[in-house]
Amino acid sequence: MNKNFNEKMDFKYNHIPEIEKDKINLDIKEKDGIIVNQDNNKIFENIQQNLLQEISEVIKTINNWIQKFQSELERLRKELMIKLDQAIFLLIDWSEALQLVIQQKPNLSQYKIEIQQGLYSQPSQILKKTYEDSIKQVNSSYLQKIILAKDSLKKEIEQDKIEILFKNFCIWESQLQKKELQYKLINQIFQKEICYSLAFNQQGTIMVSCSQDAIKIWRFQDGKQIDCIQQIYGDSETDYATSLVFSRRTNFFIAGSFDSSIKLYYDHKDKWYKQASNKSHGGLVTCVILNKQEDQLISCSQDFQIFIWKINLPLKSIEFDYELQRHEKAVIGLSINLQETEFVSTGYDQKIIIWKKKANQKWIFNQLIDHQYSDIGCGVSYITDTMIAWQQSDQPYIHFFELKKDIYVEINQLKLEQSKCKTKTQLFLFPTLYNNEKKVIIQKFNSKIYFILLDKETNQFKVDSNSIECSSSVFFGNLSQDGKFLVIWDYLLKNYQIYELCYE
């Protein structure tokens, strides 16, 4: 806080016109060994007033948080007391119902047929059976009620807003002196099924996500109201959507799967349908990307191959066109430049390959980027039409390569601050995300999400001091197409976390 205040004070002084500075300096006198200024009182009064105003705003914000905490705690206490009282009354009723079993005269008419058939030879057997059945009936009825009460209580605790409020207060406090990019956790949605990938439509009103062997369609309203409106199950037990890409033009998306299949999903009269491609990869599909016209899809896989597909949306078809071969191990990342003159691929063979578009619109091998790192690239993205960002898997470095004299050469590298989690990332399904409008790279490494911003003064990228620390290195996510929301699914917490991003 003091640093922030000092910076503001320095700024104010440095921006005083030179003539005014001279007037202030000329008015400085020394008295009893102390430097004084005849206008000191006025100057310090102004500074103090500005500082007090800033401090008042900070205190006002903190008090707002306190009031929210208090309000939510009171609401939760009230709700919990009601539900706890309901559970206690159920237990009392349960005990009384068991006492009634003893007091009431047994109803033997229901055993009339069994008595006639001689199934019960002694009256004691009939009475014992009567009491046992009555007790079982009472227990079964009240157990169901208690389970419902327990689930209702658990749901109230899990869905309360206190955790979100507390996390956001901690985030806000850590961001008081940070001005580049800020984020806010605005929602959490429970999902126990694993989610490897998710994507948004152009308007940011629909989110689609993997839910084990199904795909969920969500209505997404500013990140605060999220409702699952449809669930589409896969064609096999391993049909997990490992890569998703949503159209920027209309309501359709494409999924690459753990079972090696590629499918097109389209909306018709507010209901979603799927159509499988006419060919499959030979392994897990690691990445799918669309061209601007959205009549071509590029996919890559653990089978070392890159497939080019034809998309025909009116016919709801996705057809294999041809394949590209240069990688010697699994291909795990793709990115296409804005002009669509080239795309880049990276894989487990540590290669970074550039593919060029010929005059006949066919893709061909162009060059292998030379680098000295014995490491897998877990993410790759075009920053400009001739600049690429490549993320190492084992080491916390992002490398920037730029086209110079028809050859890509490394021009810069950035080191990411090590997270508390020391386990290796080894998860390529969280892509390198780049918001071209805001000039921000969003990169996962181990248990952290980093924001890498373009410094306008130096025209160089720098790692922002803000980052998101997750519960472990196992999480997946994506950015909304307008760059406003970042959504991740956390494996340990089993929930979606929705962050709102604010760009300065």
Residue 19 confidence (pLDDT): 31
Q: Which residue has the tokens 């550039």?
A: 354
Residue from 470, 361, 467, 365 nearest 414 by CA: 467
Measure the CA–CA gap between 144 and 7, rounded to whole angstroms.
63
Distance between CA atoms of residues 207 and 217, nearest Å: 6
Can you tell me the distance from the alpha carbon of 199 to that of 210, in angstroms, rounded to the nearest whole number? Answer: 10
Closest by CA position to 337, among listed 247, 404, 403: 403
Checking if the pLDDT of 486 tops 60, the result is yes
pLDDT score of 350 more than 90: yes
Q: How many CB atoms lie within 10 A of CB 209?
A: 27
pLDDT for 48 equals 59
d(CA 481, CA 245): 11
Q: Which residue has the higher pLDDT, 43 or 35?
A: 43
Which 3 state secondary structure label does DSSP give 9? Answer: helix
Q: Which whole-number Å values give the CA distances from 196 to 115, 193, 252, 303, in the listed order?
A: 61, 10, 19, 19
- Segment among 34-43, 344-353, 408-417, 439-448 with least mean pLDDT: 34-43
By mean pLDDT, which of 131-135, 380-384, 461-465 is the weakest?
131-135
User: What mean pLDDT do residues 109-124 have?
Assistant: 55
3-state helix, strand, coil in the chain (%, to 5): 30, 40, 30
Supply 497's token pair.
């976390």
Q: What is the pLDDT of residue 297?
A: 97
Checking if the pLDDT of 68 tops 90, the result is no
Residue with tokens 């580049």: 180
Q: Annotate 235-265 with b (16+ C-beta within 10 A) or e (fewer).
A: eeeebbbbbbbbbeeebbbbbbbbbbbbbbb
Q: Is the pLDDT of residue 18 over 70?
A: no
pLDDT mean across residues, the chain: 82
Which pLDDT score, from 0 to 100, does residue 345 have? 97
Q: What is the pLDDT of residues 296-329, one digit of tens each?
A: 999 999 999 999 999 999 999 999 999 999 999 9
Within 10 angstroms of residue 170's Cβ, the number of other Cβ atoms is 11
Residue 172, pLDDT score: 64
- More confident position, 458 or 52: 458
Give the whole-angstrom CA distance, residue 240 versus residue 229. 19
63 pLDDT tier (thresholds 50, 70, 90): confident
List, for residues 80-94, the tens digit of each pLDDT value: 888 888 888 888 888
In degrees and rounded to multiples of 5, residue 299 shows phi and psi of -130, 155
% the chain with pLDDT above 90: 50
Segment 453-480 shows an average pLDDT of: 86
Q: Which residue has the tokens 């003091």?
A: 2
The DSSP element (H or E) to which 232 belongs, if any, is: strand 225-233
Whole-number Å distance between alpha carbons of 226 and 489: 14
pLDDT at residue number 471 = 82
pLDDT digits (tens, 9 = 90+) for 119-144: 555 556 666 767 777 888 888 888 88
